[in-house]
Copies of this chain bind each other. A is one copy, B any other.
Amino acid sequence: MILVTEDDFSVDDVLKKIRNERTGAVVSFVGVVREEDRGRKVRKMEMEAYKDMAVGELSNLREKAMKKFGLEEIAIIHRVGSFSPGDNIVLIAVAAGHRKEAFAGAEYLIDEMKKIVPLWKKEIFEDGEIWVEGGH
C-alpha cells in the first residue's frame, strides 16, 4: 500500500491490512511535526510532492526493500498539505516473519525515502520560513 495524500491515517487500520499468517513482527514508524526544529519554534509545516513520481519512487523502494529484507508486506503513507506541530506526516509499516528484518526494513525505507522521493518540506517559523534541504 503506497499513498501520497492529504488525509491522516490510522496505524491500527494499516497494520490490519499488512499482516498475514506468516507475520511475527510489525514495525511502524510515524513521523510527526515537531514544535521546534534546530532551535526555532515551528508554527506551520508545508509538505509538497511531485505526486505521481513520488508514488512511483515509493513503489520502487517498496519492491527493493521487500526483496532485500525478505519482508511480508509494506505500507507507506506520506501526507502532503499544511500541518501544525503534533500532526502526522508519514507512516511506514513493515510486516515480517521476525523482528530483525522488520526493524531493518523500516529504517531502510525511511532513510532511502528521505534521499530520493520527490517530497519537500517547508518550515514556517514566527520570523520567517525555509525549505528544508536533505532529510534529517
Contact = CB atoms under 8 A, between A and B. Distances in A.
Interface string A107-136: 100100000000000000000000000001
Q: How often does this chain occur in the complex, in copies?
A: 2
Chain A's interface size range is 20 to 34
Contacts of A19: 32, 86
A99 interface: yes
A34 B23 contact: yes
A29 B26 contact: yes
Interface of A: 10-12, 15, 19, 21-36, 85-86, 97-99, 102-103, 106-107, 110, 136
Given A19-B86, A29-B103, A103-B106, 5 more contacts: A24-B32, A25-B32, A27-B29, A29-B99, A98-B136
